[in-house]
Structure 1
Amino acid sequence: MHDSIAIPACFSSGERQADDPATVARSGQSVFMSVYRTKLAGECRLITVTWCKNLLLHGLSVSVEGPDGDEHYRCKVELKPWYFWRKQGSKHITVDSRAVDIFWDLKAAKFNGETEPRSDYYVAIVCEEEVVLLLGDLKKDAFRKTGCRPSLIEPTLVSRKEHVFGKKKFSTRVKFQEKAPLHDISVECNNNINCDSNLGGFDPELEIRVDGKRAVHVRHLHWKFRGNEFINISKTRVEVYWDVHDWLFGSGPRHGLFIFKPVAVTSSSASKSTPSSPESSAAKLAEFCSHDPSSAENDDDNAAGVSSGFCLFLYAWKVE
C-alpha cells in the first residue's frame, strides 16, 4: 500500500531545519538522528533516519543522500494516535532513476515514553530487491513484507545526534560497536553550595555516568565549562567532550553539548587524561564538529573494530 504521508510538525520546515538548535528550542521537541552508510542505487550513500517527539505525536523521517551530498530524497511519516493506518505502510521514492521503497510497521511499537521505539517495529529500505537498511526487531516480518533478500553489504552507523530536554539530568543509550551491548549514559549538573566560592556561594559540578558508574567528574564548572577526557567503556576507549557554557552563562532555553567518540588506543591515550582548559577544548570542539561521516568509509582503528568515524552528539536542553 502506497500512502500519501502527511508531514509531521517537527519536519515541516525541512529536514535540515528540524535539527537546527533554534528550531529545536522553539518547538521543545526531542529529536534523534542516526546516519548510516550503505550501498544504494549503485553507490555508497548516507541514509539519515530521524525520530521526533512532542506532546501530540511521534514523527519518522528517512532521507537518502543525493548525488552532490544533499539529502534530496525524503520520506516522512506522521504517527498520531488517531491515525492508526499511518503506523504501517510504504512509500516509493526515486534515487538517481532507481526505485527505492521504504516500508514501516509501527502499529505495535513500544516507545516506553522515549523518542525512538525500543521494540516491536521495523523500518526497511529496499532497492533492487535488496533490503539495504533494516531497523527494529521484527526482522522476519520485514523480509516477509518486502519479499526481498538482505544486502550483501552490512550498513554502518557512522553518527548519532540527539536533542533531549530536562531540568537537571539527561539520559540516553548508545552502542559504540555494532555487536556490543547498549550502554546507559547520563549527564547531571549539580549546584553545590560552597561558602568559599566567589560565585555567590554556588560551585556547580558535572557528572557523566556510564551504566550507573561515574566516568567523568568535573568540579568548579564555572572555570571548566569546556573540556575533554578519555574514559573506558567496556573494551572501547572513548573521548568525551563537554561544553556547558550556555548552561552557566546563558538565559532562556539553552543546551550543553556532549560528544562521545571512540578512538584508537595509542600511547597518547593509554592513560586517562585530565580535563583540558576551555581554550584548548574549543579547538577540540571544532575538530569534532567538523566530523564528516562520508570521510570515514575505511577508517577502522583497532583490533576491536572500533571506527573512529562514529560520534555521538548529545544536545542537553535545560528547561526551568
Structure 2
Amino acid sequence: MNVDEVLQMIGQEGLPLILLAVFILVAIWLGVRIVPQSEKHVVERFGRLRSVLGPGINFIVPFLDKVAHKISILERQLPTASQDAITRDNVLVQVDTSVFYRITEPEKTVYRIRDVDAAIATTVAGIVRANIGQMDLDEVQANRGQLIQTIKLSVEDAVDDWGIEVTRAEILDVNLDQATRDAMLQQLNAERERRAQVTRAEGSKRAVELNADAELYAAEQAAKARRVQADAEAYATGVVAKAIAENGVEAAQYQVALKQVEALNTLGAGAGQHTIVVPAQALEAFGDAFRMLKGRG
C-alpha cells in the first residue's frame, strides 16, 4: 500500500474524528474562562446579561454565551478637576478636587452609565458647588476635612445605582482671585497691627501696675521701719521712766550726765580737733556723772 492509499483511507474514515476533536477543543476554548484577580467579566447570551464571572476558573456555554465586557475592579483615580464656586459671602473660589473609586457591581456600571469618569466628575462638581454655596470663605478654609467628608457621602449616594464605591475624595486646593487675595492680605495686616497695639497697651498697663506695686511696697517697708523705731523709742522711754520711778531724780541726773559725756566724747573724736573748750557747767556735769557712776558701782 502506497502513501496515497493510506492518506485516502485516513481521509475517508478519520475525518469525522478529526472534526470532532477540533470541535471539542474549540468548545473547551470557548467554555472555559480564567478571570484574573483584578477583573470581573460580564457574560451575555444573545445580547442579554447572563452572569458575572469572578476571579478564577469559570465555565460558560460555548457558542451561546460570550464575554461582552471585561471590567477592572482596581481602585481608580479621576483626573484632578477644577470647578468655580461662590461662597455664601459672595467670594468666587476655584476648587481642585480628586475622587478615588472602584467598580463593585460591573453589571450596573455596564448597563446604566456610558462614561463613568465623566459622570462622576459632573456629580462631584455639582456637589462641591452646592456645599460651598452654603459656607462662608472662612468656613471653607477652616473646615476642609468636614467638607471633604460631606462631598464623599454625597457622591456615594449619587453613584450608588451605578455599582460604584467611592473610596476617597480630596480637596487639593482652594484658589482665590487676585482681588480677594489682596483684600485678605490687607485684613491680615490690619489684624496683626491691632494685636500689636493691644500687646503694647497691655505691656504699658503692666509696667504701671508693677511700678505702683513697687511704690506701695516701699511705703509699707518705710512704715514698718518707722513703727519699729517708734517702738524702740517708746521702749527706751519706758525704761527711763521706770528707772526714774524706782530711783528718783538721781536716775534722771545720771542719764543726763551720760548723754553729756557721750556728746563730749564725740566732739573730741572729731578729725583735727586738738583743743577742746569745756564750759564750767560741763565740768560740773562730769563730776556729777563720776560721782553717780562711783555710787552705782
Q: Report if TM-score (shorter chain) is over 0.5.
A: no
- For the aligned pair, the TM-score class normalised by the smaller chain equals under 0.3
User: Larger Rg: 1 or 2?
Assistant: 2
- Structure ranking higher in strand proportion: 1
TM-score, length-scaled by structure 1: 0.20
- Between 1 and 2, higher relative CO (CA 8 Å, sep ≥ 6) is seen in 1
TM-score, length-scaled by structure 2: 0.21
